[in-house]
Amino acid sequence: MNLNKMRHNPKYAAFCLKKICIWIIDVEVVEMEKYSKVSNDQLIFSIQELKDKGLSYYKISQLVKQGILIKLNKKYYENTNFDGEESDFYYAYAYVPNGVICLLSAAVYYNLSTYRPDAIDIAIPRKARVSTLPEWPVLNIYYFTEERFSVGAEIIEVGNNKFRIYDIEKTVADIVFYREKTGVEETKEVLSNYLHRKDRNLNKLIRYAEMLKCKDIINKYLEVLV
């Protein structure tokens, strides 16, 4: 564009102004396309995931101002455009990304318990710390030994969403070990429902029990329930 020509030629100036407006619209379209990369099939985004989609810190802050994103903590954001089925476990993953869903929360997930806890049971390594706990969802933090923490953890992925949880046998073994905290009746219900499952793996359960020092008590429960 020739600035001198624009000053002396109104038609040329109008033409240039039109081109500038078209360019601005094109830029806004590109920006909206980038914003649309915050897809509606993912509830929680990390900062790194947003940056990988081409969003700068400024653009992320703009999405927050627009109400498209809600900042949960320093590393994670909630996507308000998410139109899938929500799970509290997705939020737990954002607040405690190194944590693993455990005990009665895991038992409910596997349909081993009719108990509906008011909080999510989540395990972290004994030496780990959680800087800030949210008001919601309420999280019950259990500090596991390194051995207990590392055994049996799985990642469940539902579309672009994920959380960590112990497998079903590890869940049963942990509940038996922590029976005084989870409740004796709840422990019996979990074991009974587990034994009625066609996909139960008693050999795996006993291996976990041996490893986690609760074999004797599990055998006593099995003698009564089997």
The string of pLDDT tens digits covering residues 100-115 is 999 999 999 999 999 8
User: What's the whole-number mean pLDDT along residues 10-30?
Assistant: 49
Output the furthest CA–CA distance in the chain (Å, rounded): 99
**Cα separation of 61 and 65, whole Å?**
6
Q: Taking the model in full, what pTM does it have?
A: 0.81
The string of pLDDT tens digits covering residues 35-94 is 556 778 999 999 999 999 999 999 999 999 999 999 999 999 999 999 989 999 999 999
Selected residue with higher pLDDT from 126 and 221: 126
| pLDDT bracket for residue 30 (50, 70, 90) | very low
Burial 146-172 (b: 16+ CB within 10 A, else e): eebbebbbeeeeeeebebbbbbbbbbb
Residue position matching structure tokens 């009746």:
185
What DSSP state is assigned to residue 120? E
